[in-house]
Structures are given as C-alpha cells and as structure tokens.
Amino acid sequence: MTNARESLDNSPRQLQVETHGLDVIGDAERKGTPRTLFWPWFGANVSILGLSYGAFALGFGISFWQALIAGVIGIVFSFLLCGFVAVAGKRGSAPTMVLSRAAYGVRGNRLPSVISWVLTVGWETVLCALATLATATVFDRLGWGGGTGTQVVALIVVAGLTVVGGVMGFDVIMRLQTLITVVTGVLTVVYVCLVADHIHWSTVSDIPAGSAQEFIGALVFMMTGFGLGWVNAAADYSRYLPRTSSSRGVIGWTTFGASVAPLLLLVFGLLLAGSSTTLNAAVAADPIGALTTILPTWFLVPFAVVAVLGLVGGAVLDIYSSGLALLSAGLRIPRPLAALVDGVLMIAGAVYIVFFADDFLGPFMGFLTTLGVPIAAWCGIMLADILLRRRDYAEPDLYRPDGRYGDVPLTPLLLTLAATAVGWGLVTNASADWLTWQGYLLQPLGLGGKSGAWAYANLGVLAALALGFLGTLALRRGRVRAQEAQVGAV
C-alpha cells in the first residue's frame, strides 16, 4: 500500500501549519484516492485500548461468543455510519459540522456543533489521561518511579504531541498517522505473541451466557465507544478528496481502515479478559496499565511506546476535529488557535482524571452513553439528509443564513431535542452519581424501571438514532427537494 502522503500529493512539500478552517477546500488542493483514508482511520483506532474493550464487554455479564458478536456488529455498523457521513465530505469540500448546516441551517447548526465539540474534547481528554496512566504504570514496574512526578512528565509529553499535531493540521496528521500505523501495528503483534500463553480457552468457554438485554447493552456500548465517537468528524478528511472519487470507495476504506484493528484487538482482549478475573477487574481502574501485568519486563518500554502512540493517534484526530467543531459553533478565531484552546481544556480534564478521579470506568461509560444519545440523534438526521440529496452541496449557501439551507429551521432542532429526550429516558448509569436522573421512561414504558432487566441495555442510543433518521425522511423530503430545485443549485 502506498505511503499516505505520497498518495495525497506527489510533489514534495515542507510541513507547515494548515491555514484552512471552515472554508471550502479548492479543487486544486483536492488530491488522492479513497484508499488514502485508510491511514488516518487505522492509525486512530489501532490503540491498545481496543484490548480493554474485551473486559468492558464481558462486564455486561455475557459470554465470549455473545461479546464477540456484539463487538463485531457494534464496531462494523458504527464505523459504516462514519463511512456514509464521509461521503458528504467529498461532495461538499467542507468539515463535517459545516456540511451539517444543510440539515440544521447555518445558525441552527450551532446546537449539534456544541455537542460535537464536547464529545471530541471529552474523547481527547480520556485518551490523553489513559496514555499518562499507562506510562506511569510501566515506569512503576520498571522501578523507575511511577508517582506524581512521572505522571506529570508523561502528561506533558502526551499533551505536547497531541496539541502540536492538532495545531499543525491535516498535512502533519496524515504523516503522523502513517508512522503510528506502522510502529503501533508491529508492536501490537509482538504484544499479542508475548501474552498468548495467558489465554485459557477452557476458562473462556465456561463463561455463562447473559440475557438479550445484556447483549444489547454490550452492543450499544461498542457502538458508542467506536464509530459513534467518530461519526461527527467523519467528513473532515474525505473533504480533501476529488469530487469524482468513488462514494463506495470512501465508505469502504473508511469502514475498513477504522474497523480492522479494533476487531482483531477485541478478539484477543476477550480471550485475555475471559481467562483471568483478576485482569478483567484491573482493566476497569487502569485500562491500559493493567495489560502490563502479564508482560515480560524487557517489553515494557516498547509497550509504553505502542500504548502512547496508539492513544495519541486518536487524540490528534479528535483535537483537530474539536477545533473545527468549536469554530462551527460560532467562535471566530483561527483554526490553529481553536485547537490550542481545546488542548488547554484537554490538559485540564486529563489532570482531573489522573490525579483526582477515584474511578475510570464508571464516568467513562456515563460519558459515552450520555453524549452518545444526542450524537446518535444528530447522526440519524445527518444520514437521512445525505440520503435524500441527489446533488452536491451548494457550498456558498453553507455560510449564508439567507441561503437555501436557511438560518434556524425548527424541524431538525425539535427533532434532535425530542430524540435526545426519549434517548436519555431509556439509558441509565449507576456508576456515575451525576447521571441518576436518566432512565425516566423505563418505568412508564413497562421496561422494569431503573433496576429492571432493560435498565442497562442502552436502548436510548438506538432510539435516538432511529428517531432522527426516520423523522428526517418523513418530515424533510420536500424541503430538500425544494433546496435542490433552486436556481444555481450545484
């Protein structure tokens, strides 16, 4: 497979800060093929964290086979949604949260932009904190110190790599992700070989099966932990492709690049977690660091490299897209400065997780589920809007409140609020005290209340996705046809 940068641009060019923000990418700068999308998506998802999702899935009380099926469906389906949204990028040449204005209006789109910004800042914070914790754990096992001083230094290094990549922009990110893909991929294979003898199939196969509700809960958790965490940024990289690029290629390479590593890591993570109840429990407190306990000492430093690079790969994409979302929400500053602002917030959040939080898994699951609901609602609306459109976007009107896409159309906004309200009423998270208000529809709908069998099935995410999608198909078809019929439509 060709190098990503060579595929994107055959002429050598010095690295520089990307000046593009929310503006449309000109045809002269749009190069490459859908295959180049493999690199950023693979590099962002080849994290050792994927192994920890095996423990997360089994934590729902299901068997190995149930967890495997839930993981495969959740990962592939959620990244397939990213592939569909990525098609809008090559059709509209603008960031995801600008293209969203076609559905929400120019200023109405500030609502999903704010939600997208919070989600991406949250993800980059989690990844930065995990990389810091993992480094400290490795140093502690090596006897080099793993206390506060080590954590501070690790946080500075991880945050520095992430912020620099986000500020520099697309060109640096594509080169960085290619490097991360190769290094992390090779070292992850070595890790798998070294710990393979810790797998005990007889123990794994004896794990009892769980209920249908527990299976659904694990499936939705996989969706929110993988593709639904990226869907709001899915067009940020495909916007650099030529308009003539194959839509099927964009969908296929996005889905494949993003899914292949998590699928392989999930299988091995399930086998490891299912073989040891001790490891399974340790992952909840330190998802990456716990994986070092079964490693030989000589591989701890390479493990730290693979862990940090894998997490940084995801954090860099997040900080880049969070900066774009912040601009789309209405903040008028240059894109590099927006990424820097998000970097400061990321560092503050990581400091809290590393130095003050007592538990990781509970707040993490609460974060994913709570923000997964409105993002699922937005995703449903966005996918339906893309499906309804037969022509490319009228790009100038994406920036004009008086253009064909409107300013603050009520239908998509009300639909988002309604789908989110229904979704939050159908999810719960007992591990996060600040989320006890959720689940208010479980009792009225006869689903057993907040302590019943359906309490942790996370039905609200699926409900929000379906309501957003079906509601837009039913209520917005005529509006889209009228937009595309206007004089001067692309």
Tokens of 9: 């641009």
- Interhelix angle for 170-195 vs 38-45, to 10°? 50
Tokens of 125: 């914070």
The neighbour count for residue 41, using CB atoms within 10 Å, is 28
pLDDT at 417: 97
pLDDT at 9: 42
pLDDT at 454: 95
pLDDT at 2: 36
Tokens of 118: 């919070």
Please check whether residue 123 is in contact with residue 371, taking contact to mean a CB–CB distance below 8 angstroms: no
Cα 367 → chain centroid: 12
pLDDT band (50, 70, 90) for residue 431: low
The 3-class SS string of 147-161 reads CHHHHHHHHHHHHHH
Tokens of 294: 């079964």
Q: How far is CA 45 from CA 79, 161, 183, 332, in A?
A: 11, 17, 13, 31
- pLDDT tens column, 258-273: 999 999 999 999 999 9
- In 389-476, where does DSSP find H-type helix? 410-424, 459-475
pLDDT band (50, 70, 90) for residue 15: low
Q: How far is CA 405 from CA 103, 112, 212, in A?
A: 7, 16, 42
Stretch 175-182: mean pLDDT, rounded?
76
pLDDT band (50, 70, 90) for residue 135: confident
Please check whether residue 379 is in contact with residue 468, taking contact to mean a CB–CB distance below 8 angstroms: yes
- Specify the residue for token string 């600008």: 98
pTM for this model (two decimals)? 0.87
DSSP code at position 295? S
Stretch 355-378: mean pLDDT, rounded?
81
DSSP 50-119: HHHHHHHHHTTS--HHHHHHHHHHHHHHHHHHHHHHHHHHHHH-S-HHHHTHHHH-TTTTHHHHHHHHHH
- The CA distance from 26 to 171, in Å, is 16
Buried (b) or exposed (e) across 435-456, using 16+ Cβ within 10 A?
A: beebbebbeeeebebbebebbb
